[in-house]
Amino acid sequence: MIRKFVIACVLFLLTCGSGTVWAEDARNPACQQPEQTAPMAFSLSDGPTDQLRPLGAEYYLDPAGDAGPDRIVTEAFTPAACNGIFKAPLPGQSAWLRFALSNPHGKTHRWVIGLMETIFDEVTLFEERDARLVEVGRTGRVVPWMDKDNTAIRTGIEVTMQPGDERVFYLRLAGTFAPTMTAVIMSADLFFGWSTLRLIMTALFLGYVATIALFSLILFRQIDVRFYQYYTLYILCLFVYSFIYDGWLSKFFGVTLPITTLAPITELFAGLSTLAIVQYCRILLNAHDDPWAWRHLFTLLSAVVVVVIGLAVVDPWRLSGPLHLIYFISPLILLTVAIRKIITGLPQARPIACALLSLSLGLSIAVFAFMFPLNITGATHAYELVLLRPLSWGYYLAITGETLFMMLAISTMVRSMQSERHVAAVELASLGQQMQHIEQQHRAAEKTTTARLEALENALADDPETRQHLSAKQQFLDRVTECVLDSVKDQDFSVEKLASSLAISQKTLGRRLKEASGQSPASFIRSARLNFARNLILLDQYNTVAEIAHASGFSSVSNFAKHYRQEFGEIPSKTINLLRKNQ
């Protein structure tokens, strides 16, 4: 339904526009001239405001394009169209305009016979002298650079008129892409100012497109490689299309390709840009998450674009209408999808919708002006001539607005993704902390279990049945440990008392302990007390560190804590807390 409605609106506008352009001649009596009369003489006044007029020339279409200057003077021309708008010749044809210029003023004037359209293969101006035509000037994109009448980017040929001159001219035009052509007469100053302004505009536009491409590549590094493929193709197509259409190949590289070669190329790149924006929006709008019907809408639209591109490339003059229509139909369809995504809360959908709306509006203006140009009115400044050509500023409006909003959409998407990554990073850090806490608990439980097993092994070592299997050194260490533990609460228990309890000398005690454990008697007594204290903690025999210290034979709690940390790598209170936390 949306598509039918849009097509109906476009056809209505085209019909109205067609009537507006071509009906004016019938209403204006100045255009009603009988055939085979002398052409009306045109001139510009000396006034500063009279710088531009439409050229109301008589018209002849040469279907074969082979009529030369000698034969054309015998052909019957159609009466003048006062609005200066004429049907453009197709490939292989040529159009002739016959008009007269007069200079009733008292000084020499330099005027330019120009055309509002951009692309012409060849434009040749002849002057009628003694019943024959003499070439006055020549320009166009297939004309070698040295043979052109002027090097301006706009199409025009300069004529110098002396005071009192009245001369008849013939203008031959061949190789253009627009369906119509608009002839004007203007002052030389206005023409060259207009051409310079147009050159600056095209240069700025190409620079802008290149800058947008650079910015998009920088932004896309943070997203997905698929965006490089489609948006780079889109920007490249815009750049190449504008580069060719605005005449940079001819002006700066001397390329003299005819319109029959350039038109299919420009249509191809224009169509590819539309295909690229469809695929780009498909990814940017997350169409892969949509239901089946919406996903296949992009497939259908892409297929239609491919078909109309093929038609336009085969014959840009007769079969390019569907492609021109799809230029602004496809953004409207994508706009519908974007609005739907706005409702679902997709962050980048709103700027995408603005970009597509700007693209649709600008391309609608440009395509309408391409098919049905406005009537030319007076102009005194170059910018007024630009405004009289909606084809140019409509296209610039479309691309500038679309790219600016699309950059905003990309940055919105980047911010959204960065926010999601930040949330994910916070959640990951929280999970990491939880895992670390669980690992600490696991290590503490493992340490507690190991200590209890050691205590159990020590208890089993006291069993007489177990002792008989031990070596002499181990049995000696067990006897020494037993003596120490028997007097463990005696804070005055010393090496001398230990040797006495074992009925050996202190020297023998020291030697045998060194051989069996590598420790001195004092160190061995302290180690036995510390292990006894750790067993008391693990068995949860006492509540405080002070109680455990005194029960283990330590007179100083701080001294006990110091040696305990050196022995087991943690303070006694931490062992107590971990034990009770895991219970």
Q: At what angle do helices 390-461 and 259-284 cross, to 10 degrees?
A: 40
Whether 466 shows a pLDDT value over 60: the answer reads no
Domain assignment present for residue 438? The answer is no
Task: Grade residue 22 by pLDDT with cuts at 50, 70 and 90.
Answer: very low
Q: For the segment 347-360, what is each residue's pLDDT rounded down to a tens digit?
A: 888 888 998 888 88
- In this predicted model, which residue has the larger pLDDT, 525 or 204? 204
- In this predicted model, which residue has the larger pLDDT, 467 or 249? 249
Q: Show the DSSP H helices in 285-348 as ranges.
A: 292-314, 321-344
The angle subtended at Cα 285 by Cα 281 and Cα 291, nearest 5°, is 115
Do 173 and 219 belong to one domain? no
Q: Which of 244-248, 251-255, 532-536 has the lowest mean pLDDT?
A: 251-255
Domain assignment present for residue 441? The answer is no
Specify the pLDDT at position 38.
Answer: 62
Whether 462 shows a pLDDT value over 70: the answer reads no
Specify the pLDDT at position 215.
Answer: 77
Compute the average pLDDT of residues 447-454: 62
Task: Grade residue 463 by pLDDT with cuts at 50, 70 and 90.
Answer: low
Specify the pLDDT at position 450.
Answer: 64
Do 509 and 410 belong to one domain? no
**Nearest alpha carbon to residue 234 among 283, 279, 265, 203:** 279
Compute the average pLDDT of residues 134-149: 85
Specify the pLDDT at position 178.
Answer: 85
Whether 3 shows a pLDDT value over 70: the answer reads no
Checking DSSP bridges between strand 122-129 and strand 109-115, what pairing results, if any? unpaired
Do 187 and 212 belong to one domain? no
Q: For the segment 351-400, what is each residue's pLDDT rounded down to a tens digit?
A: 889 988 888 888 888 878 877 777 777 777 888 888 888 888 888 888 88
The angle subtended at Cα 59 by Cα 53 and Cα 61, nearest 5°, is 135
Domain boundary among the residues 123, 158, 192 is at: 192
Q: For the segment 273-331, what is each residue's pLDDT rounded down to a tens digit?
A: 889 888 888 888 877 777 877 878 888 999 999 999 999 999 998 888 888 888 878 88
Whether 133 shows a pLDDT value over 70: the answer reads yes
In percent, how much of the chain has pLDDT > 90? 14
From CA 194, how far away is CA 178, in angstroms rounded?
Answer: 20
Domain assignment present for residue 452? The answer is no
From CA 209, how far away is CA 381, in angstroms rounded?
Answer: 27
Domain assignment present for residue 443? The answer is no
Specify the pLDDT at position 228.
Answer: 67
What is the CATH classification number for the domain harbouring 234?
Answer: 1.20.1070
Compute the average pLDDT of residues 67-85: 85
C-beta of residue 168 within 8 angstroms of C-beta of residue 100 = yes
From CA 3, how far away is CA 16, in angstroms rounded?
Answer: 20
Domain boundary among the residues 164, 192, 220 is at: 192
Domain assignment present for residue 403? The answer is yes
Query: What's the number of domains the chain is made of?
Result: 3
Do 158 and 210 belong to one domain? no
Do 382 and 518 belong to one domain? no
Specify the pLDDT at position 314.
Answer: 92
**Nearest alpha carbon to residue 139 among 175, 180, 97, 186:** 175
Task: Grade residue 458 by pLDDT with cuts at 50, 70 and 90.
Answer: low
Whether 425 shows a pLDDT value over 60: the answer reads yes
Whether 111 shows a pLDDT value over 60: the answer reads yes
Task: Grade residue 18 by pLDDT with cuts at 50, 70 and 90.
Answer: very low
Task: Grade residue 2 by pLDDT with cuts at 50, 70 and 90.
Answer: very low
Domain assignment present for residue 140? The answer is yes
Q: Percentages helix, strand, coil for the chain, rounded to the nearest 5?
A: 60, 10, 25
Compute the average pLDDT of residues 35-61: 79
Specify the pLDDT at position 221.
Answer: 64
Q: Which of 63-72, 185-194, 484-493 has the lowest mean pLDDT?
A: 484-493
407 burial level (CB within 10 Å; 0-12, 13-18, 19+):
middle
Kindly report the number of other CB atoms within 10 A of residue 374's CB atom.
19
Specify the pLDDT at position 141.
Answer: 87
Task: Grade residue 457 by pLDDT with cuts at 50, 70 and 90.
Answer: low
**Nearest alpha carbon to residue 450 among 355, 538, 386:** 538
What is the CATH classification number for the domain harbouring 503?
Answer: 1.10.10.60
Whether 168 shows a pLDDT value over 90: the answer reads yes
Kindly report the number of other CB atoms within 10 A of residue 164's CB atom.
10
Domain assignment present for residue 310? The answer is yes
What is the CATH classification number for the domain harbouring 7?
Answer: 2.60.40.2380
C-beta of residue 221 within 8 angstroms of C-beta of residue 417 = no
Domain boundary among the residues 374, 400, 427 is at: 427
From CA 211, how far away is CA 183, in angstroms rounded?
Answer: 36
* Residue with token string 């919708």: 353
C-beta of residue 251 within 8 angstroms of C-beta of residue 144 = no
Task: Grade residue 5 by pLDDT with cuts at 50, 70 and 90.
Answer: very low
Do 110 and 211 belong to one domain? no
Q: At what angle do helices 390-461 and 572-582 cross, to 10 degrees?
A: 100
For 239, the token pair is 């750049």
* Residue with token string 């504008």: 242
Do 91 and 124 belong to one domain? yes
**Is the full-model pTM beyond 0.75?**
no
Checking DSSP bridges between strand 94-102 and strand 85-87, what pairing results, if any? unpaired
Compute the average pLDDT of residues 70-77: 89
What b/e readout covers 471-509, taking b as 16+ CB neighbours within 10 angstroms? eeeeebbbebbebbbebbeeeebebeebbebbeeeeeeb
Do 399 and 542 belong to one domain? no
**Nearest alpha carbon to residue 37 among 92, 89, 5, 76:** 76
C-beta of residue 281 within 8 angstroms of C-beta of residue 324 = no
Do 246 and 182 belong to one domain? no
Do 188 and 292 belong to one domain? no
In percent, how much of the chain has pLDDT > 70? 86
Compute the average pLDDT of residues 50-54: 87
Whether 32 shows a pLDDT value over 60: the answer reads no
Do 186 and 236 belong to one domain? no
Q: At what angle do helices 349-371 and 390-461 cross, to 10 degrees?
A: 160
Do 420 and 547 belong to one domain? no
Give 462-487 as a DSSP string: TSHHHHTTS-HHHHHHHHHHHHHHHT
Cα separations in angstroms, 491 against 415, 484, 543: 70, 11, 20
Domain range for 286 is 194-427
Whether 24 shows a pLDDT value over 60: the answer reads no
Q: Is 2 left (phi over 0), alpha (psi -120 to 50) or beta?
A: alpha
C-beta of residue 111 within 8 angstroms of C-beta of residue 159 = yes
Domain assignment present for residue 433? The answer is no
Radius of gyration of the chain (CA): 48
In three-state secondary structure terms, 41 is: strand
Sign of CA dihedral 157, 160, 166, 167: negative
Q: For the segment 261-280, what is each residue's pLDDT rounded down to a tens digit?
A: 988 999 999 899 889 888 88
450 burial level (CB within 10 Å; 0-12, 13-18, 19+):
exposed
* Residue with token string 């019909």: 15
C-beta of residue 95 within 8 angstroms of C-beta of residue 62 = yes
Task: Grade residue 172 by pLDDT with cuts at 50, 70 and 90.
Answer: very high
